[in-house]
Amino acid sequence: MRRTAVRCGSGGFGVDGAGAQRLRIAVLGPVRAWYDGPPLDVGPVRRQAVLAALALRPGTLVSHEQLLDDVWGAQPPGSGRRVLPSYVYPLRKALDTAGAGPAGSVIRSVRGGYRFVGDGVRLDTAELAERVGAAQHAKASDDPATAMDRLADALALFRGEPLAGLPGPFAQGERRRLTRLRRTLQQERLECLVRLGRSADALDDLAALAATDPYDEPLAALRIRALYGSGRQAAALGAYQDVRARLRDELGVDPGEELRRTHQAVLRRDDELLLGPAPARSPAPSRPPRRTVNELPGDTGRLIGREHELALLTAPPPPGSVAVVAVDGTAGVGKTALVVHAARALRAHHPDGCLFTDLRAHSTEQRALPPQRVLRRLLRSLGAADGEAPDDLDELTAAWRAATSSLRLLLVLDDVLSAQQIRPLLPAGPGSTVLVAGRRRLAGLDTDRRVTLEPLETGDGLSLLRHIVGSERADREPDATRELVHLCDGLPLALRIAGARLQTRPAWTLAYLVDRMAGDEHRLGELSAGDRSVEAAFRLSYDQLAPEQQRGFRTLGRSPTVEFDPLTPAAALGCAYREAEEILESLVDASLLQQPRPGRYRLHDLVRVHARRLAEAAPTEGDEGRTAALRLYLDAGRVTSDWGPDGFPTGPRPGAAPFADWQEAAGWLEAAGGELVDVVGHAVALGEVDHACWIAEALSDYFARQGRYHECRTALETALAHADRATDRRMAPALRNRMGLTDLYLGRYAEARAWFTEALHLSRHHADRYEEAGARCGLGAVELNLGRPEQVIPAVTAAVEAARRLDAHWLAAQGLVLLGTAHHVQGRYDQALTCYAAALAHAETNGRPRMISKVLTCTADVHLALGAHGRSKALYRHAADLAQQVGDVLLHAIILTRHGTAEHGEGNLNAAADLHHQALSQHRTLCPRTEPHRDRLEMDIRARLGRAYSAAGRVAEAREQFRTALALPGADAHPEERAQALAGLDACADR
C-alpha cells in the first residue's frame, strides 16, 4: 500500500493502532498529507485549496459551481468547471492507495460535483475538536490543571497560520475562523494558569496576545487579573487606566462591564473573583536568587529584508516545553545576524538569561568545539564552579539539565554542523528557547520551526547596499548600483564586502567595481576584503563534503541550465537517477544547492561561479559527462518532435533515453522553461558545435508547437552562426529549413522563401536529398499561403517522391497535406482526399498524434465542403482528441470551431454554439505577443458563432459576435475573415 500524508506542520496529531495506515490531512498550518511515511505531493497552493474545500466538508456534496466559488472567487478560470478535473485527478493520484480506482477514491465524482469520503481519513481539525472538548469537560468539572494540559495539547496542533498561503474565499474564511479559535484557546489556557496560581507564568504570553489586539477587553481583564495574582496590584490598576484611556481616545467608548468589574475587584482585593477558589491555586515554587546572564553579542550591521523570517523566529514559544528553532542557509546569507536580532527580541520572554555559543563548524582559525567543552562553559555561565563540572559527557548533560530544569533560558547556538552537537546542549526548563543557526539542514533534529534563509530580493539588496555606501553615492549611479546587487545575487556577505571596498576606496565609482567584477574569473576575486571572502566561505562548505558529493558539486558547475532535476547530473555523473537525487539532496542539506520546488534544483549565482571554477580545475574529469548531459537534451528534443527519434537522418541514433514516451520527454523539456535556448549556447561555448546544431534542430518543432517562436529563432540563429564548423554537413541546410518553417508559422513569407531557397541550393550542393525535399515542401507551403496553389503541385510532388524513397514518413505526410490542400482550394475534392489518405498512412506509420490530427482535420474540411457533415464530425472529434493530447492549443481551437460548423450544418445549433465557445476558451490561452494567428482565429470563431446564433434566431447575440470580430485591432489585416463578419452583419440587418 502507498503511504501518504497531509501535514500542516503539526507535530503529529493522534496515532492509530500499530500497523494502521490511515490517511491524515492537516490544515492547521501549511497543508500537508501523509499515511505513515513521508509527506505526499499535494501540489501547488491552488490544488491544495481544492483539497481543503472538499476535505473540510467530509461527506458533503460540493457542487462544481460551489468549488469554483470557493477557490477562485470572483475571478473564475476561463474554462469554467472544465478546469476542475485537472486539479482533482492529481489529488486522487497523490492521496489514493494503490488500486483504489474511482469507486474507492477519497474524492468521489458525483453528478454535478465532488464528495470527499471521510471514512478512514483523519483531519487535524477533528483531533483539535476532540482535544478542545476534553478541555471543556475538564473546565466544567472544575479541574483547571487538566483543562490547561488539554488546551496546550490542542494548541500544539497549530503549526503556523492555518491553511497557510491558500487562495480563495473558502480558505480565507476558514483561516479567519481557525485563527480566532486559536486565540480563544490561548486565552483559555492563560485563564487556567491564573486560576492555578501561576499568574506570573501567564504575563509574557498575555502581553504578546494583547499586542495583536489592544482593544480586546476580556483579554485586558485577564491580564489585569494576572498582574494582581503576581502581587502587582499597582501595575494591575495602571493597566486598567491604560486600557480605559485607549478605548476613550481611540474608539470613543468606555470600558465594558467585565473590565469595570475586574477593576473594582482589584481595588477591593477580591482574590476569589480575580483568581478563583483558593484550593485551585498552588503557590509558585521559590527560586534561589541569582544574577541574570546575557551573553548575546552586540548587533553588527542593519538587518534588512528579513521581516517575515524574524516574525517566525520571534513567535511566542509553545507553553510548557522547550522550543527549538533552526535557521539554515548558504554561507554569507546572514544567519548569525538574524538569530542575534531574534534573540534580542525574545529576551523579555526568558527572564533567567540569554546564552550564546559559537560552535565553529566552519571556522578557519579555531577548531570546532566538542559538546563537553560547550557544556562546561554553559554551566559556568549559570554560576557553577569549574571543579563542580564532571568530565563524562553523559554526566555533564545530566548536570546541565538539572541546572536548567527550573529556568526559562534563551540559548543561541551558532555555526552548527550536526544534530549530534546540539542534543546534549538542550536545556530542560519549560518555556526555554533554543535558536540554532548553521549551513546544514539538520534533518535529525526535532524542531518547532525551521527557517531556510534565502538571498535578499533585489529591492532589499538595493536597500542594504545604499545603507553601506550611502544613498547619495548609490543614487548617482542607479544602473550600476542595481547591476552590483545583481552580481552579488542578493547575498548579504557579498553586498557587505562590495560595500566595504567602496567605503575604503572613495575614488572608485560603482560602475568601476562592476567592470572589475565582469566575467566569472574576476567576480569572486573582487568579493574579498580583509579576512572576509565569499569564495573562502564557500570553500569551507565544500571541504566538508564527502568525495562523491564534491564530485557532484563540481559536475553542477558544468550544468547547461541554471535550474535542473536529477536527470541531468545523473547523465553527467554516469549514475542512476536515485543516486544523483541523493547527492543533490545532500547538497541541499549542506546549503550549497537550492530547491525552489520539489524535484527541481538550482545553484545560487555566486555558488555556481565557485562550482565552475572547481570544475575548471579538474578539466579531464567532465568530458564524457558534459557530452552525456547535452545528449540528454538532444534525445528529449528528438523523442518529443513530430518527426520522431528516427526521423532525423544524421546525428546520434536514439539510445537508452530515460523517457518512456514523447509525453514524458515533453514534460521534462517543459520543466526547463525558458532555459532550453541556453543549452544551445552552452554547447557552442563548450566547442560542441554538432550537438548545438542537433539540439537546435530537434527543439525547433517543440518550440513551434507551443507558439514559442522567439525562442525557436534564437536557438536556431545561435546554432546557425556556427553551422559551418559542424562535422555534420546536413546541418547547414537543415537549420535554414527550420528557420524557414519558423518564419512560415509567423506569416513572414518573404523571409521564409529566402531561407528555403538557401537551403535548396546548399542541399543540392551537398547532394542531400532529405533537406532538398524539405526545402521544396517549404517553398510549396509559401506559395500556398500566398494564394498561389497552382505553383505548389510540381515542386511538392517531387519532394513527396523523394521522401518516400528515403522512408521519411513525416516529410512525406507533410508534402501530401500540402498537395491535398492545393487540390482542395481549387475544388478538386477527390484528388485532395486521395492525397490525405496517403498522408494519413505515412502519419500513422510515424505514429505522432499531431501530424495525424492535422491530416484528419484537412480530410474533415473536404467532407464539410461536400456537405458530408456526419463524416466530418467524426473526423473532427478524433482530431480534437489528438490535438488536446499533444497540447497544441491553436490546432485544438481550429478543430473545435470547424466541428461546430459541422454541427451547424446538421441543424444542431446549440451544440454548434457550445463548440465555438469551447474554441474561444482555448483561444484565450494563446499569448497575444507570440501567436501571430491569434486575431485571425478569433475573427473566424466569432464569425462562425455569429452565424450559429443567427440561424437560431438569436439575432442580437449574433450581431454582437460580428461586431466584436470587426473591432479587433488586427481585423483589417485579415480580409477574408472581415468579409465574413460584414456579411453576417448585413444578414442580421435584413431580419
- Predicted TM-score (pTM) of this structure: 0.61
Task: Work out the average pLDDT over 345-356.
Answer: 86
Task: Work out the average pLDDT over 759-772.
Answer: 94
Total Cβ atoms within 10 A of residue 76: 14
Is residue 299's pLDDT more than 70? no
Q: Which residue intervals of 617-708 are DSSP H helices? A: 623-640, 662-672, 676-685, 689-705
Q: What b/e string do you get for 493-510 counting C-beta neighbours within 10 Å, with b at 16 or more?
A: bbbbbbbebbeeeeeeeb
Choose from 150-154, 427-431, 944-948 the range with maximum mean pLDDT.
Answer: 944-948
Report CA-CA distances (Å) from 973 to 677, 935, 966.
32, 9, 11
Total Cβ atoms within 10 A of residue 579: 16
Q: Which long-range contacts (CB under 8 A, 24 or more apart) does 441-447 make?
A: 441/326, 441/328, 441/588, 441/589, 441/591, 442/326, 442/328, 442/416, 442/418, 443/419, 443/589, 444/418, 444/419, 444/420, 445/324, 445/326, 445/419, 446/324, 447/324, 447/325, 447/326
Please give the Cα distance from 573 to 552 (Å, whole number). Answer: 7
Q: Are 369 and 359 contacting, i.e. CB atoms less than 8 angstroms apart?
A: yes
Please give the Cα distance from 945 to 920 (Å, whole number). Answer: 10
Task: Work out the average pLDDT over 689-710.
Answer: 91
Band the pLDDT of 434: cuts 50, 70, 90.
Answer: very high
Please give the Cα distance from 284 to 198 (Å, whole number). Answer: 6
pLDDT at 829: 95
Task: Work out the average pLDDT over 352-367.
Answer: 72
pLDDT at 817: 95
pLDDT at 896: 95
pLDDT at 398: 80
Task: Work out the average pLDDT over 905-912.
Answer: 94
**Tens digit of each residue's pLDDT (9 = 90 or more) over 494-546:** 888 888 888 878 888 999 888 888 876 677 777 776 667 777 777 877 888 88
Band the pLDDT of 560: cuts 50, 70, 90.
Answer: confident
Band the pLDDT of 876: cuts 50, 70, 90.
Answer: very high
Is residue 443's pLDDT more than 50? yes
Distance between terminal CA atoms of the chain? 66
Report CA-CA distances (Å) from 234 to 219, 229, 947.
18, 12, 84
Please give the Cα distance from 676 to 695 (Å, whole number). Answer: 9
Band the pLDDT of 362: cuts 50, 70, 90.
Answer: low
Task: Work out the average pLDDT over 42-54.
Answer: 91
Please give the Cα distance from 196 to 202 (Å, whole number). Answer: 11
| Residue 436 identity (one-letter amino acid) | V
Band the pLDDT of 927: cuts 50, 70, 90.
Answer: confident
Range in 22-31, 488-497, 613-622, 847-856 the model is least confident about: 613-622
Task: Work out the average pLDDT over 199-228.
Answer: 85
Task: Work out the average pLDDT over 563-585.
Answer: 89
**Tens digit of each residue's pLDDT (9 = 90 or more) over 401-416:** 878 888 888 999 888 8
Is residue 387's pLDDT more than 60? no
Counting residues of the chain whose pLDDT is more than 90, the rounded percentage is 34
Q: Are 438 and 360 contacting, i.e. CB atoms less than 8 angstroms apart?
A: no
Range in 7-11, 141-145, 488-492, 778-782 the model is least confident about: 7-11
Is residue 740's pLDDT more than 90? yes
Counting residues of the chain whose pLDDT is more than 70, the rounded percentage is 93
Binning the chain into helix, strand and coil, the percentages to the nearest 5 are: 60, 5, 30
Q: What are the residues facing 107 on neighbouring strands?
A: 116
Please give the Cα distance from 468 to 794 (Å, whole number). Answer: 73
Helix (H) or strand (E) holding 92: helix 85-95
Is residue 159's pLDDT more than 50? yes
- Starting at the earlier edge strand, list the strands of the sheet with 293-294: 293-294, 353-358, 410-414, 433-438, 323-328, 449-452
Range in 212-226, 348-362, 558-572 the model is least confident about: 348-362
Band the pLDDT of 368: cuts 50, 70, 90.
Answer: low
Q: Are 492 and 332 contacting, i.e. CB atoms less than 8 angstroms apart?
A: yes
**Tens digit of each residue's pLDDT (9 = 90 or more) over 241-252:** 888 888 888 888
Report CA-CA distances (Å) from 174 to 53, 57, 59, 164, 990.
9, 11, 18, 11, 56
**Tens digit of each residue's pLDDT (9 = 90 or more) over 947-975:** 999 999 999 999 999 999 999 988 888 88
Nearest to 49 by CA among 70, 75, 26: 70
Q: Are 916 and 944 contacting, i.e. CB atoms less than 8 angstroms apart?
A: yes
Band the pLDDT of 17: cuts 50, 70, 90.
Answer: very low
**Tens digit of each residue's pLDDT (9 = 90 or more) over 783-817:** 999 989 988 898 899 999 999 999 999 999 999 99
Is residue 289's pLDDT more than 50? no
Q: What b/e string do you get for 29-66 counting C-beta neighbours within 10 Å, with b at 16 or more?
A: bbbbbbbbeebbebbebebbbbbbbbbbbbeeebeeeb
**Tens digit of each residue's pLDDT (9 = 90 or more) over 325-350:** 999 888 888 888 888 888 888 888 88
**Tens digit of each residue's pLDDT (9 = 90 or more) over 306-318:** 888 888 888 876 6
Is residue 5's pLDDT more than 60? no
Q: Are 677 and 711 contacting, i.e. CB atoms less than 8 angstroms apart?
A: yes
pLDDT at 885: 87
Is residue 491's pLDDT more than 90? no
**Tens digit of each residue's pLDDT (9 = 90 or more) over 445-466:** 888 888 888 888 888 889 888 8
Is residue 470's pLDDT more than 60? yes
Please give the Cα distance from 565 to 574 (Å, whole number). Answer: 15
Extended beta strands in 329-448, E state: 353-358, 410-414, 433-438
Three-class DSSP category at 115: strand
pLDDT at 336: 86
pLDDT at 863: 95
Contacts of 283 (CB under 8 A, 6+ apart): 197
Band the pLDDT of 101: cuts 50, 70, 90.
Answer: confident
**Tens digit of each residue's pLDDT (9 = 90 or more) over 73-100:** 888 888 788 889 889 888 988 888 877 7
Is residue 945's pLDDT more than 60? yes
